[in-house]
Amino acid sequence: MTTEILSTHTPELFAAAVHRAADLLRSGAVVALPTETVYGLAANALDAAAVAKIFQIKGRPAHNPLIVHVASRAMAASCVTSFPAVAEKLSRAFWPGPLTLVLPRANIIRPPVPAGGGTVAIRWPAHPFIQAVIRECGFPLAAPSANLSNRISPTNAGHVRAQLDGKIPLIVDGGQSQVGIESTVLDLSVTPPVILRPGMIHAESLAAIVTAISLSGDPGRSTLRSPGQLPKHYSPKAKLWVWDWPHETALAGRLTALGLNPATVHILAHTRIPGGEGFAGVSVIPHDAEAFARALYAELHRCDDAGVQNIVVEQPPDSPDWAAILDRLRRAAA
Ligand code: TXA
Ligand code: MG
């Protein structure tokens, strides 16, 4: 199949791409769409055959449920048995945006979307393109990240194309994803609510609204409840380490001690920036959690494309605003 790539940077192109995407989705096709977190691989959430194609295209295990994307609170409410007061408050504070809420599912949400479970994960994304498509379709969209299973999520249309060219009819180019890592997943189907996946909406922001909240949950339990949270996930092809170093000589010494030739190592630094000589490459990512999240996956994709064998990332701060970044780096290093 040939994969059409549509731009959205003028009102006319935007409208044409919305119509094309909606037509394809109505006909049961799977298309890649921009969201503010990462690009999504979308299908009509109410069409089991269309959703099954997502699992097949990604090579996603059948036991890993999908997030359902909506464009109104009413549409969210139609997907669940009840929309409790806490969900109402959270949605007023953080939707549209990078927060996914897990609630008991209504009967219109059927397998394979919930992967056999009794709950559904729902998100109202902030990106205007996917919002316009959902409104035009009138049905919610099931969409995991638009990467092959176990690879890094795409944050621009080029990343999607590199993994899915020829496998889907359409990729819509909506620019660089502005958040850059996947949404925070909060399970409201249990008491107290549990964060199944940290994201750029931090535990502290959620705690301002949900008083009793289990910040990280029991890792074993949340792995079972959210199969996408297996320790090894979101990985580049290269081996990855997260280190602190006082200066460049110490960094080089540590590499040598591990038997690694610095010429095979790409460095991602934000504070103690080594000179470029001797390393495969050095990327500087801003020392700011929002900017770091936005840039991280693009840097990892670049390393994959360049065939880099080893990546060393400078240790980010251990503070709440960096928690989701630390989580992704831990998984990438697993
Ligand atoms: O930012 C995002 O959330 C992106 C964009 C496209 O919206 N989507 C995304 O989807 O990251 P995916 O499929 O790559 O990750 C969804 C995560 C997985 O860890 C999955 O196990 C979990 O959400 N999940 C989905 N439905 C669930 C449910 N009913 N209960 C518990 N976890 C669920
Ligand atoms: Mg994913």
CA pseudo-torsion sign 217, 182, 327, 91:
negative
- Average pLDDT of the segment spanning 102-108: 97
Any atom of ligand 1 within 6 Å of the Cβ of 160: no
Q: State the closest ligand 1 atom to the C-alpha of 183, by its place in the atom list counted from 1.
A: 1
Any atom of ligand 1 within 6 Å of the Cβ of 184: no
Which residue of 94, 148, 182 sits with most ligand 1 atoms within 8 Å of its CB, as the best mutation to test the pocket?
182
Residue 34 contacts residue 129 (beta carbons within 8 Å): yes
At 229 the pLDDT is: 60
pTM comes to 0.95
Any atom of ligand 1 within 6 Å of the Cβ of 123: yes
User: What's the CA gap between 227 and 60, in Å, rounded?
Assistant: 11
pLDDT digits (tens, 9 = 90+) for 241-295: 999 999 999 999 999 999 999 999 999 999 999 987 889 999 999 999 999 999 9
Any atom of ligand 1 within 6 Å of the Cβ of 214: no
Cα–ligand 1 centroid distance for 123 (angstroms): 9
Count the neighbouring beta carbons within 10 Å of the beta carbon of residue 176: 14
Answer whether residue 133 shows pLDDT above 90.
Answer: yes
* Ligand that lies nearest to the alpha carbon of residue 33, given by its number in the listed order: 1
At 41 the pLDDT is: 98
Protein residues within 5 Å, CB atom, of ion ligand 2? 145
Cα–ligand 2 centroid distance for 272 (angstroms): 31
Any atom of ligand 1 within 6 Å of the Cβ of 102: yes
Answer whether residue 163 shows pLDDT above 80.
Answer: yes
Percent of the chain residues past pLDDT 90, beyond the cut: 88
CA angle 159, 160, 161 (to 5 degrees): 90
Answer whether residue 127 shows pLDDT above 70.
Answer: yes
pLDDT digits (tens, 9 = 90+) for 35-59: 999 999 999 999 999 999 999 999 9
User: What's the CA gap between 332 and 235, in Å, rounded?
Assistant: 4
Q: State the closest ligand 1 atom to the C-alpha of 119, by its place in the atom list counted from 1.
A: 29
Any atom of ligand 1 within 6 Å of the Cβ of 134: no
User: What's the CA gap between 97 and 201, in Å, rounded?
Assistant: 9
At 231 the pLDDT is: 61
Answer whether residue 157 shows pLDDT above 60.
Answer: yes
* Ligand that lies nearest to the alpha carbon of residue 96, given by its number in the listed order: 1
Q: State the closest ligand 1 atom to the C-alpha of 182, by its place in the atom list counted from 1.
A: 1
Residue 292 contacts residue 286 (beta carbons within 8 Å): yes
* Ligand that lies nearest to the alpha carbon of residue 149, given by its number in the listed order: 2
At 227 the pLDDT is: 60
At 225 the pLDDT is: 57
Residue closest via CA to ligand 1's atom 22 equals 226
Cα–ligand 2 centroid distance for 228 (angstroms): 7
Residue 146 contacts residue 154 (beta carbons within 8 Å): yes
- Average pLDDT of the segment spanning 89-96: 97
At 235 the pLDDT is: 77
pLDDT digits (tens, 9 = 90+) for 209-252: 987 777 654 444 444 456 656 566 667 889 999 999 999 999 99
Any atom of ligand 1 within 6 Å of the Cβ of 119: yes
Task: pLDDT band for 325, please (50, 70, 90 cuts).
Answer: very high
With residue 55 as reference, give the H or E element that holds it.
Answer: helix 48-58
At 232 the pLDDT is: 61
Q: What is the rounded average pLDDT for all residues in the chain? A: 93
At 233 the pLDDT is: 63
Any atom of ligand 1 within 6 Å of the Cβ of 154: no
Count the neighbouring beta carbons within 10 Å of the beta carbon of residue 247: 10
- Average pLDDT of the segment spanning 307-314: 95
Token pair recorded at residue 57: 């295209």
